[in-house]
């Protein structure tokens, strides 16, 4: 079981871009991540940690350090993708 699925994460980024009608260059300006990297992420490639955190913040996620390891439920990520796409 994977804790992080880059394809699901890329779909979240893509869904927000489509919902907000943003290009990769628009996201580049908002996140300070190159449009090429954003393009790769939306195609299912895993970002490095810094870009993952920047995109997570851009998606509206807030991170707090975990006390115990937490396993991510892939079903919840897919549900988030569906909700963002609506």
pTM over cut 0.85? no
Instruction: Read off the pLDDT of residues 18-66 as tens digits, 9 standing for 90 and up.
Output: 999 999 999 999 999 999 999 999 999 999 989 999 999 999 988 765 5
Structure-token pair, residue 74: 């892939």
Identify which has the larger pLDDT, 8 or 66.
8
Residue 4 pLDDT exceeds 90: no
Identify which has the larger pLDDT, 39 or 69.
39
Residue 82 pLDDT exceeds 80: no
Say what the pLDDT of residue 63 is: 74
**Is the distance from CB of 85 to CB of 19 less than 8 angstroms?**
yes
Q: How many CB atoms lie under 10 A from the CB of residue 40? A: 17
What phi, psi does 73 have (nearest 5°)? Answer: -90, 115
Conformational region of residue 2, where left means phi above 0, alpha means psi within -120 to 50, and beta covers everything else: beta
């Amino acid at each position: 079981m994977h804790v992080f699925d880059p394809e699901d994460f890329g779909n979240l980024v893509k869904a927000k871009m489509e919902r907000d009608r943003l290009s990769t260059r628009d996201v580049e300006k908002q996140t300070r991540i190159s449009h090429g990297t954003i393009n790769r992420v939306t195609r299912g490639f895993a970002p490095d940690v810094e870009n993952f955190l920047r995109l997570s913040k851009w998606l509206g996620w807030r991170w707090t350090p975990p006390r115990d390891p937490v396993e991510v439920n892939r079903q919840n990520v897919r549900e988030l993708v569906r909700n963002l796409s609506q």
